[in-house]
Amino acid sequence: MSTHNPAPRQRLRRRIALVSAVAASGLLLAACGSDDMDGMEHGSGSSASATSATPTRSADENRAAGTFNDADVMFAQMMIPHHEQALEMAELAYGRAGDTEIKSLVTDIEKAQDPEIQTMKSWLKSWGKPASTEKDMPGMDHGSSDMGHGGSGMSGMMSEEDMQKLEAAKGTAFDRMFAQMMIEHHEGAIAMAKDEQKNGRNATAKKLAADVVESQSAEVQKFKKILDRI
């Protein structure tokens, strides 16, 4: 495998900082009850069932193009970079991981999360919402920020220092560190998904959130069992 390039990681950190800044401004509205969300629906005002398929939309876009709210948008905008970091962690396992079960879980993570990223990007496109890139949010501070262990406002994200330590480890040391970090990372994703289940309105987004809770909760238990034996 070629030497890891830190540039994509820096772009990911800036992107997370931007999304987190929006979350801090109250866009997520997690404290709002379902009654308060009624006036925040977007689109044409019709239900998801009334949205007809068009030739210019993908199947995923058509399924998600119905009623949605700000919680749905923020779920996608935050979960995309969260998943991207999980994939970056998984990539580091190649040539470093020693445990067979760790290697198997890495494959499972890649198979699940890469398609989910593409799905969530298709939602944002169909909703006419940005993926929270720098050009989408001009004027925000793109300087350094504390991205570690909740410092970003996005639960479960690893810091740059964490990622460097993981990259430097090999064998059993890597396996243990990877399992510990992935447990924390998954638990952050689970918390975000549960927020979407509670506050979101789009049925497709809520279904994916349920899938995240189920699959990543199971993986957390597997990682904990690995830690018990290595």
The per-residue pLDDT for range 189-226, each reduced to its tens digit, is 999 999 999 999 999 999 999 999 999 999 999 999 99
- Cβ burial of 217 (10 Å; 0-12, 13-18, 19+) is middle
Domain ranges of the chain: 70-133+150-230
Task: Tell me if the pTM is above 0.75.
Answer: no
Nearest to 147 by CA among 139, 137, 155, 136: 155
Distances (CA, A) of 200 to 34, 74, 93, 130: 9, 9, 34, 18
44 vs 171: CA distance, rounded Å: 54
CATH 3.40.1190.10, applies to 70-133+150-230: no
Taking a C-beta distance cutoff of 8 angstroms, is the pair 177, 165 a contact? yes
The per-residue pLDDT for range 89-105, each reduced to its tens digit, is 999 999 999 999 999 99
